[in-house]
């Protein structure tokens, strides 16, 4: 790889030196994400918690830029404003001044929400459609993702994948099997914990916590339809289990 890159640079220098600045910028962008990921991991191991959070935000910002490019299509201003307003209320409820959260709507036919390191939360228009843009239900889905960030699940997930890379070098079959399991999303325990956070944060922000049950029930009613929900359902625990856990929690 390196010899080929050196040869490319030499050819550009000889035939079109004006392209070198653009090539430099491209290489800088390509190298920034892994460098900041390494910085985050190093800070989490050797630095203070505040330093680790700052490094996580820098890494997450690079991830968010790359992630957003996977989606194209218009997003109504009204959708973004609603999600930003709900997200702002959830951020205040989280009561962690060291963290900043950013909430973004993306155009996708897949009903899902995503938590990237550093507090960058994405929700698809398809998921907004599914819950009919009900603020209480949106608050639960966004609160669930905020919970992943607050609990450091992304860092644990990254560490697990780093461990798998080492395992793969010696036990390829076992490593591949574990990679497939982890690649489907967070573990059952982590997802259920994020559900609890979603309810807690929604209630603390002034939303109806009981809407979490309605939101999940919507998933059970349309889960068999080819509506882009397969990704969401495959990366989370069974909906019935999640509803039981939340009903028990709300009853208390």
Residues 14-65 have pLDDT tens digits of 445 554 454 444 444 444 555 555 555 555 556 677 877 888 888 888 888 8
pLDDT of residue 2: 45
Domain ranges, ordered by start, for the chain: 18-251
Please tell me which residue, 134 or 32, carries the higher pLDDT value: 134
pLDDT of residue 165: 47
Please tell me which residue, 237 or 133, carries the higher pLDDT value: 133
Is 0.75 surpassed by the pTM of this model? no
pLDDT of residue 50: 81
pLDDT of residue 185: 53
Is the pLDDT assigned to residue 139 strictly greater than 70?
Answer: yes
pLDDT of residue 80: 97
pLDDT of residue 220: 78
Residues 141-192 have pLDDT tens digits of 999 999 989 988 766 555 444 434 443 444 444 444 444 444 445 678 888 9
Q: What is the 3-state secondary structure (H, E, C) of the chain?
A: CHHHHHHHHHHHHHHCHHHHHHHHHHHHHHHHHHHHHHHHHHHHHHCCHHHHHHHHHHHHHHHHHHHHCCCCCCCCHHHHHHHHHHHHHHHHHHCCCCCCCEEEEECCCCCCEEEECCCEEEEEHHHHHHCCCCHHHHHHHHHHHHHHHHCCHHHHHHHHHHHHHHHHCCCHHHHHHHHHHHHCCCCHHHHHHHHHHHHHHHHHCCCCCCHHHHHHHHHHHHCCCCCCCHHHHHCCCCHHHHHHHHHHHHHC
């Amino acid at each position: 790889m390196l010899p080929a890159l050196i040869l490319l640079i030499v050819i550009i220098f000889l035939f079109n030196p004006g392209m070198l600045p653009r090539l430099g910028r491209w290489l800088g962008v390509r190298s920034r994400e892994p460098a900041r990921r390494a910085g985050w991991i190093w800070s989490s191991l050797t630095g203070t918690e505040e330093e680790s959070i700052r490094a996580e935000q820098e890494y997450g910002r690079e991830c968010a830029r790359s992630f957003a490019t996977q989606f194209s299509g218009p997003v109504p201003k009204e959708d973004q404003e609603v999600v930003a307003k709900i997200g702002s209320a959830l951020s205040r409820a989280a009561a962690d001044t060291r963290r900043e959260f950013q909430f973004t709507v993306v155009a996708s036919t897949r009903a899902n929400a995503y938590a990237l390191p550093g507090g960058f939360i994405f929700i698809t228009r398809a998921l907004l459609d599914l819950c009919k843009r009900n603020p209480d239900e949106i608050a639960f889905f966004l609160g669930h993702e905020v919970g992943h960030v607050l609990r450091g699940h992304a860092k644990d997930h990254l560490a697990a994948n780093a461990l798998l890379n080492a395992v793969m070098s010696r036990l390829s079959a076992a490593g591949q099997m574990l990679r497939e399991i982890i690649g489907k999303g967070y573990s059952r325990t982590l997802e259920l914990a994020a559900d609890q956070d979603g309810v807690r944060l929604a209630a603390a922000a002034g939303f109806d916590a009981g809407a979490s049950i309605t939101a999940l029930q919507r998933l059970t009613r349309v889960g068999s339809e080819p509506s882009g929900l397969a990704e969401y359902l495959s990366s989370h625990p069974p909906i019935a289990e999640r509803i039981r856990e939340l009903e028990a929690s709300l009853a208390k």
